[in-house]
Structure formats: structure tokens, C-alpha cells
Structure 1
């Protein structure tokens, strides 16, 4: 009978086999499973740190501004200003224009009227068009002949204005022009035209072609002195003649001279009654008993930052006094028709930009810009904005380019306040925006 002490009891704990719990076995130090968990935690930490670093280093996308005004604008004078272009001249033919501008106002635009000795200004321009005088030169010289003495006698018989003719003396082209325009000597206008064209027929043809070239539709010239009643033009066409005269350096000098000294003839005086008035720069009188007293005159004024030359025409005045008074009135009122237009206001909002954080920053101008516009003139502006990044207030954001008859300018556009760079937390929590700079949006 076996000894009971040698057999383990079935109910003894030491005799029971070890049974592992259900599920994953517990990791032991140094086990493969523990190593995998440690590596996972480490990798997660590395990835998290890399993400944060990537967010911190990622280039932010540019901020694109938005215009709140038109990118391009055209400006014209205020019509209320233009409406002031009225001078009460008792229904007499009157016109006013400005150098460099095609516009003119008048109470009688297109009716051709006798222009008398204003013709001589046309004669000089036609002759210089055919035979120009080199800048700074007095032009070729011509000897006075018996033909010039004959012309003088013929003009006297017609009760015209003449100057002496010292036969044999030579006069320059400039001196012929001075004699024709300052005292309005009819004989020297005729003599000059004959030297250039050979005959009145040749001069008539050249005058007609010159008028057509300059689109002077009402100008008709039958002879060079202005004695003929067939020499006619509208007040508006005479404004254009005035422009052409002032554009020629030699003619512009002569019509502004109060007097000149001609060797062998003596001092000659300018017949223009406005010469000597402040800023008056010429041009020409005209008188005929059949038409009355005419005057084409010009004056330079400073309007805003621009020098403006006004040209006035008055025709058919009853006497010298009325001619002088009315022409002064037209020139005095000329600046009323000139408007200074604001192209850019100072500190004006022209756009906005939304920051990465969603804040709106205004884009504003740094200064004002304006233009002085004559009737029918225009000015323009072009607004251009560029991409932005972080920076202090006043950072350049674009430019406004203006263009007007008086010149061009540029007005900077800047940020109204600082654009702050996002902090790290914002970058980490806004990955789509933070990484947009890598992928171009």
C-alpha cells in the first residue's frame, strides 16, 4: 500500500498546474513587445516634434490685396466749372481757347468774318512754312528795291498802313516780319510774300494749302496784307492761328515785342494795346472800316501747378477802346474755365488685405495728387497693388500712377497698420494655411 505522504494531494495548490490568464501576455522587461511600445512612443514624439518644427519653418503664403476702387479711372473738368465760360460781350463774335487744347468757347463759333490785318499773322506763318528760319537766326536778308517803293505807293492809295522803304538797304527776314506785325505795315507783308512765293497767285495757293493742312475750314485769304474784305475766318479758327503763331519761336518773340529798331527806318511800335499788360504775350490787331476793330491776344496765367496760355479773339468792335476793354475781359475770365481736378485724395482707402489670421488691414494713399484741366482735356489714374507679407504699418503695398496734360506722377499706397506674423500655436492649429506656401495655395 503506497505511502500517502509520497503522492501530492490533488487539492494542494503546489500540485496544480499554472494557468495563464486569457488575453495578451504581460510584457516583461526586455521583451520584444516592450521594445515595440517604446519605439512607438518615441516615434510619435519625433513626428509631433517634426510637425511642430515644420509648421514653425513653413513659408507663409503671400497675402493678396483687394481693390476697393476702380483700377483705372478717367477724369474730366467739372461741368459746372465749364459752365462759367461765359463772358457778356453783347452778342459780338468772341472766342477763347488755350494753347495745347482743341477746345474753345464762343458766342459765335463758325461764322466767317473779315479779319483785316490779323491776316498778316497768317501771311508770316505761311511764308515761314515754305521757307523756315533756323532757330536762333534772323533768316536770309533781302534788299529793298523799286518794287518795294511801288508797293508802298499802292498801299497809300488804298489808305493802308505803310512803313518807309529805304531802297538799296538790306533787311533780314525777322525785320520784314517785325515791320509786318508790329506797326502792321501792309507794304512789308506784301513784299515778304512776294519774295517767298513770287506772286500773289503763288501766295494764295500756298495759303489755301496751309489752311487745309491745319484744318482751318473757314479761313480764306486772297492777299497777304489784310486790306481785302475777302480775307475771312471764324473766331474759333483764329484761336488756332494764335496757337500756331505761339508755337513758332520767331513769331512768338516778335508778337511780344513792344517795339523794335529797324536800321534805316527807325523805331517801330507794336499796335497791340494789351502789350505791357501783366502776362500778355502778343498777338495781332486788325482794323477795317467795313468790319470794325479786331484783336487776337494771348496771356499766360499760372493755374495750380500749370502754366496756361489763354488766347482770346474779339471781332467787330466799334472802336479801339471797346476792342481793348472786351479783350481784357475775355482774358481776365479765362481762368474761370480751367478746373483743378483731384485725382488722388490724401490718406484715401483704395484697398484691403486679409491677414493669415483673418484680420482686415486697409491700404491707403500717402499723399494727394491733382491736375489742372482745360475744357475738353482729360486725366487718368491707374491703381496697382502687389502681394504682401508681414511688416510694420506704412509698408509699400502698391502705387497709383497719374497722367495729365501737365505731366505724370506716382502716389505710393501703404498699409494702414502692421501685419503681424502668426505665432506657433496658430501655425500648428492651421496646417492648411501654414503649409500653403510650400504648395502654392
Structure 2
């Protein structure tokens, strides 16, 4: 670069310098002469200041960032009944609900023994199958031949106002089908008939049932007959939930309890008294009432709440006012569990999490590259981690980090990128800030 060219460039710079006006006149010319003399000295001694200033390394921009905030969801409120009693146990969601969810996740009304009515027939079925097991859900098992004494049970329970099903003399059907008539329409005559078949008499069955209850740790359950129509057949919510787990683990019982109806030789079409089958994942197990305004439901549900695998819920409602209100209570409880899971919006595409600033006044933003959602339970807290690295090019769209959100077992993330172009400084800034150049 020639000295005259350099001086001309300086003259132009001075003319364009901030605050410079044509009225500066002679003062400007004097300043130019003085400045030119200085530059001549620099150029002569240092090899060219302008060249150095125009090519020297710039100071690194300053990067600042702050992790975004994420609010927890609303606190879950399990809608438990205010009368009678209820107990819910949940398996499969411990990572969200806590390790105690498989015990008493939610309960109301205490754990005192109450009449269980026809839930006792579920015990009858389990005790009979313990002595005469079926190999699979579809195994018909042995054939039962009902005698005249068995068919007389129809009239006996009819006059007592109990639920019954047709049983013509000489009826022959599989143990599987006989159990279906016991469990679906809750036929008391069939319950006593299979108890007699399995153990010789109903009294012998009661003894076997008590031994079975003791062996299975159901010490707060009392059985006095095969049907449950005697109010002395009692149990606690905790025992009944444990009973429900045992029943759900029996392939034959679980399959029968999940059926809406089935045609059975002799009995005809039998229909389940559990009107919730298929609602909110309900798959069983047994209703029961004594006709005195005390309605019960021991139930299982495979409740899909969006966490990958459904929750396995075992629950009981004792002492409902009516059959319909008992069903409504169970639906409300299950729905409140599902409603306790939230999909939270934790990050929005384009939202700012930092900025880049240069000494010469140019800058850009650090923003999230996409929206981010996170599934949480109740008011589980959300932790946020921001990891930002030094940009390599400071270019618009360059990925410079990640934001990670975690709540319970769920984690989601979004990239952090530069938004906006960082402009080079002017030659004037370079020339007037030699101390900031590399």
C-alpha cells in the first residue's frame, strides 16, 4: 500500500467520522495534517498500521445464557367416595407415582370389615380351582353333572330373592362354563352346586375356603357360605385388593371375568353384572350387593395414561348407594388417576435462552430449535439443564448447545442455536480500538 493512498483513505475516514461536519473547515485540515504526520511515522516504522488493524484478530464475542424455567403441573386429586370405603392399588407406574403405589395408593373410609355379598363367589371360584385347576384360560376342565338336589337350589334361592340361573335336571357342563354362570350373572344356585361338587358339601367347602384364605394371607376375610348372601361374609378393602390380584393372576378367572356374556348349555345366555367392562380399561372382577343399599365392586383396570404401558389397577368400592352410583364412583376414581398425568409444554421453538454480544455492537440470540413437551404426574417438579458450548463460527443457525428437561422417569431435550447474523466491525472501529485487537 502506498503512503499517498493511505493518507487519502485516512482523509476519507476522517470526513466520514462520527461528528464530522463540513463546517469544521480549517480545523479539520489542521487535524488531518497532524494525524497524517503521525501515520507517516507509524507506516515508516511499523510496516503499516492500517494493514494490521484491518487484519488483526477480533476479540471473541461474549456468550451469556440462562436455563428456561418450567412449571410443574397441577396437583392430582384422586376423587374418592365420601361414603362407604374404597382402596386403589397401582402397579406399573411406580416411577411416576412412587414406590408405595402398589400398596394403598389411595384410600377412603378406613379398612374395617364390611359385608362383601357376591364378591364371596369369586372366593368360591378360586377355592374350587385350587382343588381342581384348569390348565389354561380355554381349558374346559372336568364335566359336572347336576343332580335333582342341585336343581332344587333354583327354587331355594328363588324364594330368598337371590340371583339364580336355569339349571335343568341332568344338566352337564364343563367346570369352566359352570364358573362363568357363577361369576357373570352371579348365580347363587350354581355357586353352591360347584362348591358341593368340589368338596362334597357346602360345609366342607367353607372349611376349605377358610384354609385357603389363611394360606393366602387373607386373615381379615370371613366366609360362611359359597354365595355371599349371608351378611357375615365380610372382608376389608386391603384383603379384597389382595384377593383381586390373586384372581387376576388366574388365567381362567381373569378370562371369564372379562367377558360381557356367554351362552352356556342349560343356563342359556348369561350376562355379566359388571357394567364397567371395557370402560377405562376395566377388565373384571366381581360385583356384589345384599339389596339393602350397599353395593360393592372389586375391579381390575388396565388404564392407559400415555406412559408406554398401561397402569395395572386393582381396586374395590364397598358400600355404594346404588349399582349405578357405585359404577360412577369407580369411573370417577379411574378418571382422576388418568387426569393426574399432564403433557406439559416446557419449551417453545424460538424462545430465547441467551445472547451473543460483540464489543463493536453486533449481536445475536440463542434460541430453542423446537417445541418440547414432557409427560408428568401431578405436581412432580421439572428440572432443567442448559449446556452451551463456545460457538465455532458464530453463524446464524449454528447449534451451540442443548436444553434438557427431566421429571420423574421422563426426559426430553431441544437444541440451542444461534438466531441472527453477527456483522463484522467497520474499519473505523478497528482503527480506533487497537487495544481490543489481537
User: What corresponds to 1:34 in structure 2?
Assistant: none
Q: Which residue of the other structure, out of 70, 75, 82, is the alignment partner of 2:77?
A: 82
Pair 1:206-2:206 in alignment: no
Q: Which residue of the other structure, out of 178, 186, 191, is the alignment partner of 2:191?
A: 186
CA distance in 1, matches of 2:231, 2:413: 56
Pair 1:93-2:94 in alignment: no
- Whether the aligned pair in 2 keeps the contact of 1:350 and 1:365 (CA below 8 Å) is no
User: What corresponds to 1:397 in structure 2?
Assistant: 401
CA distance in 1, matches of 2:331, 2:401: 45
Q: Helix, strand or coil for the counterpart of 2:84?
A: coil
Deviation at 1:399, TM superposition (A): 4.2
Alignment of 1:318-329 (within 5 A): 322-329=321-328
- Whether the aligned pair in 2 keeps the contact of 1:221 and 1:231 (CA below 8 Å) is yes
CA distance in 2, matches of 1:134, 1:52: 89
- Whether the aligned pair in 1 keeps the contact of 2:89 and 2:315 (CA below 8 Å) is yes
Deviation at 1:180, TM superposition (A): 2.3
Alignment of 1:113-128 (within 5 A): 113-124=114-125
Deviation at 1:94, TM superposition (A): 4.7
- Whether the aligned pair in 2 keeps the contact of 1:138 and 1:172 (CA below 8 Å) is no
Pair 1:339-2:333 in alignment: no
User: What corresponds to 2:174 in structure 1?
Assistant: 171
Deviation at 1:138, TM superposition (A): 0.8
CA distance in 2, matches of 1:433, 1:149: 109
Deviation at 1:113, TM superposition (A): 0.8
CA distance in 2, matches of 1:289, 1:115: 12
CA distance in 1, matches of 2:305, 2:386: 29
User: What corresponds to 2:31 in structure 1?
Assistant: none
Give per-residue Cα distances to partners, 1:3-35, cap 9 Å, x unaligned. Answer: xxxxxxxxxxxxxxxxxxxxxxxxxxxxxxxxx
User: What corresponds to 2:370 in structure 1?
Assistant: 366
User: What corresponds to 2:96 in structure 1?
Assistant: none
| Structure 1 pair 50–209 and aligned structure 2 pair: CA distance change class (3 A) | farther
Give per-residue Cα distances to partners, 1:352-383, cap 9 Å, x unaligned. Answer: 36567696844437224253647xx9575563
Unaligned runs of 5+ in 2: 1-42, 94-100
- Whether the aligned pair in 2 keeps the contact of 1:64 and 1:353 (CA below 8 Å) is yes
Deviation at 1:97, TM superposition (A): 6.6
| Structure 1 pair 166–402 and aligned structure 2 pair: CA distance change class (3 A) | farther
Alignment of 1:277-356 (within 5 A): 281-288=283-290, 292-296=294-298, 313-316=316-319, 322-334=321-333, 335-336=335-336, 338-341=339-342, 343-347=344-348, 351-352=353-354
Q: How many residue pairs end up in the alignment?
A: 368
Q: Helix, strand or coil for the counterpart of 1:138?
A: coil
CA distance in 2, matches of 1:188, 1:398: 68
Deviation at 1:171, TM superposition (A): 1.4
- Whether the aligned pair in 2 keeps the contact of 1:62 and 1:388 (CA below 8 Å) is no
Q: Which residue of the other structure, out of 265, 268, 272, is the alignment partner of 1:266?
A: 268
Q: Which residue of the other structure, out of 233, 236, 244, is the alignment partner of 2:235?
A: 233
Alignment of 1:28-43 (within 5 A): none
Deviation at 1:249, TM superposition (A): 6.2
| TM value normalised by structure 2 | 0.58
CA distance in 2, matches of 1:341, 1:178: 39
Q: Helix, strand or coil for the counterpart of 1:119?
A: helix
Deviation at 1:206, TM superposition (A): 3.5
Give per-residue Cα distances to partners, 1:294-346, cap 9 Å, x unaligned. Answer: 334577888789977887744345xxxx4223224314533356335354434
| TM value normalised by structure 1 | 0.58
Which structure has the larger Rg over C-alpha atoms? 1
CA distance in 1, matches of 2:194, 2:430: 87
RMSD: 5.6
Deviation at 1:270, TM superposition (A): 2.0
Q: Helix, strand or coil for the counterpart of 1:206?
A: helix
| Structure 1 pair 87–168 and aligned structure 2 pair: CA distance change class (3 A) | closer
CA distance in 2, matches of 1:323, 1:433: 85
- Whether the aligned pair in 2 keeps the contact of 1:293 and 1:316 (CA below 8 Å) is yes
- Whether the aligned pair in 1 keeps the contact of 2:115 and 2:234 (CA below 8 Å) is yes
- Whether the aligned pair in 2 keeps the contact of 1:280 and 1:297 (CA below 8 Å) is yes
